[in-house]
Amino acid sequence: MAATTLLSTVLVLLVTGTLCNRVLVLLVTGTLCNRDPIMLTVANGFRHTNHTYSTSVAPGGVLLGAMKQLQKDDSSFNFTTKENPDYGPFLVSVNGVAGKKGDGTYWQLRVDYVNGSSTVAQVGVGCYIPKPNEHIFLNFTTY
Ligand code: B12
């Protein structure tokens, strides 16, 4: 009888121990993997094309991180940057289309809000921190 009680106690401890560990692992990985969703639209005004992607950014992370993640997950999205010593990465090309000094084209970074207003970001992709659910435009245009 005593042996049976001991055995069932050990079994209960083992099962709850395992369960607790699983719950803990789930909680920890859940917290660590928690990224904020954002939308990214690649807009080319000259070709009249728009492509919207859903991606995610680490909480408090920069747009460049979300773009790198998207590039890894979706083969239809790619981009290149050129490092500037003062302002960090300058977005040179998106999906094979590059800005050119000669014709005054560049990729502008714009944020659109649900109320219909929009703003041109005051920093580049390496510094801009998207808010959760924000809609960001990479807009190929002229200066
Ligand atoms: C002209 C200019 C541009 C031109 C540059 C092209 C050209 N051929 O002239 C254009 C229109 C392309 C441009 C774009 C942007 N710009 Co600008 N730009 C300037 C400006 C007014 C002068 C730069 C300059 O000619 N310096 C003199 C030359 C001799 O020095 P330079 O080192 O060779 O200059 C180069 C860099 O400044 C670079 N550059 C220009 N803007 C930016 C922005 C970033 C993020 C980077 C990495 C590099 C970069 O292009 C210049 C020419 O090659 C400065 C403000 C200022 N008064 O300095 C803002 C400035 C540098 N830009 C700024 C910004 C925010 C942008 C954009 C991100 C705006 C946007 N939301 O789209 C984009 C860049 C987007 C991208 N593709 O990555 C900010 C950078 C602030 C920051 N901490 O990141 C500044 C300081 C203006 C501000 N808001 O205060 N820009």
Same structural domain, 83 and 137: yes
Taking the centre of ligand 1 as the mean of its atom positions, its distance from the CA of residue 49, in whole angstroms, is 25
The pLDDT tens digits of the residues spanning 1-56 come to 455 554 454 444 444 555 445 544 444 444 456 899 999 999 998 888 899 999 99
60: left (phi over 0), alpha (psi -120 to 50) or beta: left
pLDDT value of position 24: 46
HSE-up (13 A, CA, CB side) for residue 68: 11
Same structural domain, 84 and 26: no
Same structural domain, 94 and 128: yes
Taking the centre of ligand 1 as the mean of its atom positions, its distance from the CA of residue 141, in whole angstroms, is 14
Q: How far apart are CA 50 and CA 6, in angstroms?
A: 67
How many helices (H) and strands (E) in the chain?
Answer: 2, 8
The pLDDT tens digits of the residues spanning 62-86 come to 999 999 999 999 999 999 999 999 9
| Overall number of domains in the chain | 2
Same structural domain, 98 and 73: yes
Same structural domain, 26 and 73: no
Q: Which atom of ligand 1 is nearest to the CA of 87?
A: 47
Same structural domain, 9 and 61: no
Same structural domain, 42 and 29: no
Average predicted confidence (pLDDT) for the chain: 85
Q: Which atom of ligand 1 is nearest to the CA of 101?
A: 8
Which protein residue has the closest C-alpha to ligand 1 atom 15?
108
pLDDT value of position 46: 85
Residue 90 near ligand 1, beta carbon < 6 Å: yes
Tell which wins on pLDDT, 61 or 3: 61
Domain interval for residue 29 = 1-34
* CA–centroid distance for 98 within its chain: 22
Which residue spans within 1-143 are E strands per DSSP? 36-44, 49-57, 79-84, 88-94, 97-98, 105-112, 118-120, 135-142
Which protein residue has the closest C-alpha to ligand 1 atom 53?
101
